[in-house]
């Protein structure tokens, strides 16, 4: 069952910076729109250590002080802090992280125009080999890479979540099940 997390209206304007809204660009990539412009990591947005739920392929994340769900992921085997964003169609990461993950300048074709709260920028489409959190591991996750000045945090969008059996929010916890 797909569901959206509603963010408090009073913080939307304060947080609306740096998060991409994706629109169809060159190259025939799917057109998408994201409501993620209201979610941004701040300096106090430190990931909490995920609390594993018993059993393989399950994970529970507690909301942080801002009500966001963050966690310690592995992307292509490398540790990455990520913010779960059900309003984002794709995983979004910045260029510095993409380089750390092994994507070279030749592999990053910044031809897709995307709109962010800070204006328009270019993005490169990539497919991540694998993403992991706790006992959950998925392969072939679509993502967009944005320039560093356009995105300061890694957003974990629906291109990851839709590969799970389920996810749900209740009592301040986000439960993921593979």
Q: What is the set of domains in the chain, with CATH numbers?
A: 58-177 (2.40.70.10)
The CA distance from 124 to 146, in Å, is: 7
One digit per residue, the tens of pLDDT, for the chain of length 178 reads 323 322 222 222 223 333 444 433 333 333 333 333 333 333 334 444 444 443 479 999 999 999 999 999 999 999 999 999 988 889 999 999 999 999 998 999 999 998 766 678 899 999 999 999 999 999 999 999 999 989 999 999 999 999 999 999 999 999 999 9
> Considering only CA atoms, which of 39, 46, 48 is closest in space to residue 21?
39
Per-residue pLDDT, 117: 61
Both tokens of residue 18?
């740096």
Distances (CA, A) of 145 to 69, 117, 119, 150: 21, 16, 16, 10
pLDDT at res. 116: 67
Rounded to whole angstroms, the Cα distance separating 79 from 101 reads: 9
- E strand intervals along 78-161: 78-84, 91-94, 112-116, 119-133, 136-146, 154-156
pTM, two decimals, is 0.70
Q: What is the pLDDT of residue 118?
A: 66
Burial category of 43 from C-beta neighbours within 10 Å (exposed 0-12, middle 13-18, buried 19 and up): exposed
At 137 the pLDDT is 95
Helices (H), 7-141: 9-15, 95-100
């Amino acid at each position: 069952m797909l569901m959206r997390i509603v963010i408090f209206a009073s913080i939307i304007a304060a947080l609306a910076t740096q998060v991409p809204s994706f629109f169809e660009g060159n190259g025939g990539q799917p057109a998408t729109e994201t409501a993620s412009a209201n979610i941004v990591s701040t300096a106090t947005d430190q990931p909490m250590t995920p609390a594993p739920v018993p059993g393989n392929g399950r994970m529970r994340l507690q909301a942080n002080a801002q009500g966001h769900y963050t966690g310690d992921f592995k992307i292509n085997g490398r540790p990455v802090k990520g913010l779960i964003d059900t309003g984002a169609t794709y995983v979004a990461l910045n260029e510095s992280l993409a380089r750390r993950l092994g994507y070279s300048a030749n592999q990053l074709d910044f031809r897709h125009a995307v709109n962010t709260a800070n204006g328009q920028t270019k993005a490169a489409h990539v497919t991540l080999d694998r993403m992991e959190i706790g006992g959950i591991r998925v392969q072939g996750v679509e993502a967009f890479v944005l320039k560093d000045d356009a995105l300061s945090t890694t957003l974990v969008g629906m291109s990851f979540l839709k590969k799970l059996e389920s996810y749900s929010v209740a009592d301040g916890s986000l439960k993921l099940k593979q």
